[in-house]
Structures are given as C-alpha cells and as structure tokens.
Amino acid sequence: MKYLEKYIDYNDLDKIIESNDYMNCKIKKGAEKFIKIRPSEYQQDSQIAVFIDNIPKVRTRNDVIKTGLATIIRAESIGFIDGWCLDYNAPFCCDEAIVTPYVADESYEYWDGKKAKISDVIDEYLYHSCIHSDYWKI
C-alpha cells in the first residue's frame, strides 16, 4: 500500500464543523488535529478533504437525517430517472465527491429484476461519506 488516506471520526464532527449551511459552511480553526491517516490501496481524490469513519448504522430516512450528513430524496424530484438520491448537507459528499449521488431503479432491474430501495442508497453511499475539499482546504 503506497498511498495514504485522511479521515476523521464521525463523533468528532461537532468539534470540526462550525456551521454547515450551504452559503456559510465553516470549518473550525484547529480542526486539523482531528485528522488521522491510514494506508490505502488508492490515491485519495483531490476533491475529497477527508473521509468520515465510524458513521452510525442507520435503517430509515429519518435515521439518515439524524446523522446530519444528508437526507434521502426521490431521484425524479431533481430530474434523474426513478430511484433514490442521497442529498448531502454542506460540507459532505460521497467518495466520488458527488453531493447528490443516486441509485437508479433501472440499473437494478437490469441486474436482478429488483427496484432500488432506500437501504441501497444508504449502503452504497452513506457509509462512504466525506468532506468535500471545496469546504476544507488541507
């Protein structure tokens, strides 16, 4: 493993984020001391400041909202095909640096004949949440 990955613990988010509204998202001074580093097989994307580790296990849309990371919305409400979107709050994103990643019904029907479920978007994206580098330059 020749790369390093920066991450923070979910339980430290309140010590790092001062404000998380889209217009005035701020990271607290001295937040860098909460960053940890681990080996990785892949180079960290430059659009990702840090990964978030130890995100609590959730099962429902309301549980996702309680994490403070995102909400789950229907994909067609923002112009995508049928499915579910994880609509991240500032400064968060998925591990592909996308703020509204989605799981589409059509892709699931192609592979196994099932429609996308809320649990799919949780499993595929929530536990791979990051802080976007637009909000935190490290």
pLDDT digits 0-9 by tens, 82-105: 889 999 999 999 999 999 999 887
Q: Is residue 38 in a domain?
A: yes
Q: Is residue 25 in a domain?
A: yes
- Distance linking the first and last C-alpha atoms of the chain: 22
- The domain of 35 spans 3-132
Does the pTM surpass 0.85? The reply is yes
Q: Residue 105 forms beta bridges with which residues?
A: none
| The total number of structural domains that make up the chain | 1
Q: Cα-flanking dihedrals φ and ψ of residue 47, to 5°?
A: -85, -5
Per-residue model confidence (pLDDT) at position 107 = 66
Q: Is residue 137 in a domain?
A: no
Cis peptide before 56 (omega within 30 of 0): no
Report the C-alpha gap between 136 and 124 in whole angstroms: 24
Q: Is residue 138 in a domain?
A: no
Report the C-alpha gap between 94 and 6 in whole angstroms: 14
Report the C-alpha gap between 132 and 9 in whole angstroms: 15
Q: Is the pLDDT of residue 22 over 70?
A: no
